[in-house]
Amino acid sequence: ALARRGVEVHAIVPLRGGQRPVERLDGMTVHGYPPHRPDRIAGIARTIDADIHHSQHPSLATAIALAARPASRHVVTCRDPKSLRDWRIELARPSLGRAQVLANWLFEDGPGVAAAVRRMDGIFAASPHLVAEIARKYGLDADRIGLLPTPVRLPPEPVKAATPTVISVGRWDRRKRPERFIELARAMPAIRFVAIGRSRDPAYEAELRARAAGIANLELAGFIDQFASDALERRLAAAWVLVNTAGREGLPTAFLEALAHGCALLAEVDPGGITSRFGEAVADGDFRAGLERLLSGDAWRAKGAAGRAHVAASFELDHVVDLHLSLYERLLATKPPRRWRPSPGARPA
């Protein structure tokens, strides 16, 4: 979206399977580094020579970019500030193994990351409900933390399926408990269920597919590349309810995209009250009862419409891009603000 506004955009990301070191994607130049060599971020950052470095979540990459390009402006948006409890959940149900969770912890919360966050020229939360946790985690005054919502494209008014259709979108990680979605489909054979995603662990995905075998009303659609086709948008447009079975989340982009398509939400997590406002938050884990309440009297339709209006007002793509451009212009027009000073009682991570 920024690229379409005439901004030269570069992204620095870990290399994934089949990805080339430098690629063009959606108007951006994407630079990849080997996941086990984050030190190479420094050289990439110097080569790009950017005016502004915007980290989309605090990490070792934030600290490396700050050290490599001290004269640039540096901004961070915090999307999922994990507490110790959150990391325990990750360890209990790892996607690939506990070693990978520990590596992720070091990358996101290891030495130097918190100090780098406190030295940013701008610190932002992706949602208001994250501000208090960000302030606690990084030892900041809450009034130093701004708000930069996640941009979401608002599609045309969706045409819903004629029969009840429930969808799940996201990685099939153990901590997201996709088996609960499968069992929900088994328990409600009159409703169509569609699971979009895949696991990073082929053996675990095979277990899930074996578990789902024979459930006629359940489709495991696998991964859909939203950049390659409009298949995901068509699925969301037809769906009535988005189900999220995870035990913890920040504010999933899938929630916002589903709301933009007029889907109600059904989840155990309720980040910032968004699930209870625009769907059913089932703190007791009774997804079947929550889904029955949403389907009763077409309650899902009113919840989905209200959610779509909420996304249009707060997360709509052009509005959020305007917020980013305004921020960048201010940063380039003024000197960086005074660097962080600890507030009384602050507890840096």
Residues 32 and 114 in one domain: yes
Residues 25 and 43 in one domain: yes
Structure tokens at 207: 């277990």
Which residues are within 8 A (CB) of 234 and not within 5 positions of it... i.e. 6 or more apart? Answer: none
Same domain, 296 and 329: no
Tally of domains within the chain:
2
- Say if residue 31 is in the same domain as residue 93: yes
Residues 128 and 209 in one domain: no
- Residues 76 and 53: their CA atoms lie apart, in Å, by 8
**Going residue by residue through the chain (349 aa), what tens digit of pLDDT does each one get?**
898 898 999 999 999 888 999 999 889 999 999 999 999 999 999 999 899 999 999 999 999 999 999 999 999 999 999 999 999 988 988 888 899 999 999 999 999 999 999 999 999 999 999 999 999 999 999 999 999 999 999 999 999 999 999 999 999 999 899 999 999 999 999 999 999 999 989 999 999 999 999 999 999 998 988 777 889 999 999 999 999 999 888 888 999 999 999 999 999 999 999 999 999 999 889 999 999 999 999 999 999 999 999 999 999 999 999 999 999 999 998 755 434 333 444 433 3
145: domain CATH number?
3.40.50.2000
Paired tokens of 243 = 């189900």
Partners of residue 3 on adjacent β-strands:
none
Which residue carries 């989309």 as its tokens?
56
Is residue 250 a part of any domain in this protein? Answer: yes
- Residue 103 to residues 13, 79, 94, 109: CA-CA distances in angstroms? 16, 19, 12, 10
Considering the domain architecture, whether residues 136 and 174 belong to the same structural domain is answered as no
Q: Is 349 contained in some domain? A: no
- Residues spanned by the domain of 81: 3-151+317-333
Looking at the fold, whether 74 and 132 belong to one and the same domain comes out as yes
Q: Is residue 160 part of a domain?
A: no
